[in-house]
Amino acid sequence: MQKSELDVLVQFKEKTHRITVDEGSNYEQLVRALMLNPEEVLIFVDGISTPSDEQVKPGKVRIVKIVSGG
């Protein structure tokens, strides 16, 4: 049985990337596919903040890197 895949458009640093993930993947897996640390980013789907453990669904994904200092 062949796995279903989902194409997702991800905006990060003013660039748009097309990422293909297995259906059932979560946003943490999508972030890791972009070689980013999930603990250092915020994820927005259609403008709504989304937890990284939520399952990927169609929509416009925007990833924002968190900047902190001390």
Rounded distance between C-alpha atoms, residue 51 and residue 49, angstroms: 7
Residue-wise pLDDT for 31-67, tens only, equals 999 999 999 999 999 999 999 999 998 889 999 999 8
Structural domains in the chain, sorted by start: 5-65 (3.10.20.90)
10 Å Cβ neighbour count for 68? 5
Residue 53's SS3 state is coil
pTM equals: 0.85
CA distances, 19 to each of 23, 37, 50, 65 (Å) = 12, 16, 18, 18
